[in-house]
Amino acid sequence: LGYYAAEGFTRTQESKKGTIHQTTLCGTESEARELYMEVLASAFGVQPYIENDAKVTVSGRLLRVLFTDVLDAGAGVANKQVPECVLRGSPEILSAYLSGYFSGDGSVENGRLVINATTVSETLKEDLIALLTRLGIKSRVDIQEPILLKNKFPDYYDEDDQKRSATRYVFTISSEDAV
């Protein structure tokens, strides 16, 4: 579930044959994609496939409904949240969720004991703070205001395009923050 919060999404799309339901986990590292393939197949009995160099996808309604409706984990990056069963879970459940989340969305600063992770979901931000606090882990959250996408990705946006990025919440956990 932590990997899904960090790197997953669901989608539906209409086709001539009806509605297509898909659940996708992203990971640029081959080890991550292999883990996704193994866990999805063994835990849910589905047949995931590698969509491209960064995506493992499962077609079918079951997984999409599980993540979005049953667990209420969110369908996309903006509406992600920690499922209630995790929020109320044991310290082992919280640790497993956070491990998956930070493995998927986190990074470690070179030469320092610092972990960073970013989300655009305000609800997920609040939920992650709650999980970390329950485990006695202090964190700092910095808010990065939206920027013009044409400034960040000039090759992909026209000069007169006014689209902005989402507000980003950047978690930092360092050895200095240890309780």
Task: Using the predicted structure, report yes or no on whether residue 154 has a pLDDT greater than 60.
Answer: yes
Are the C-beta atoms of 81 and 38 separated by less than 8 Å?
A: no
CA distance linking residue 135 with residue 116, whole number of Å? 17
Q: What is the mean pLDDT of the chain?
A: 88
Q: Residue 178 above 60 pLDDT?
A: no
Q: pLDDT-derived band of residue 166, with 50, 70 and 90 as boundaries?
A: confident
Q: What is the per-residue pLDDT for 30?
A: 86
Residue written as token pair 């990074």: 107
Residue 109 scores a pLDDT above 70 = no
CA distance 40 to 44: 6
CA–CA distance, 122 with 143 (Å, rounded to integer): 10
pLDDT reading at 85 higher than 60: yes
**CA 75, CA 72: separation in Å to the nearest integer?**
8
What average pLDDT does this structure show over 28-46? 90
**What are the tens digits of pLDDT across the range 11-20?**
999 999 899 9
Q: Say how far apart CA 56 and CA 26 lie, in whole Å.
A: 6
Over 70: is that where the pLDDT of 168 sits?
yes
Query: How confident is the model over 78-94, as a mean pLDDT?
Result: 95
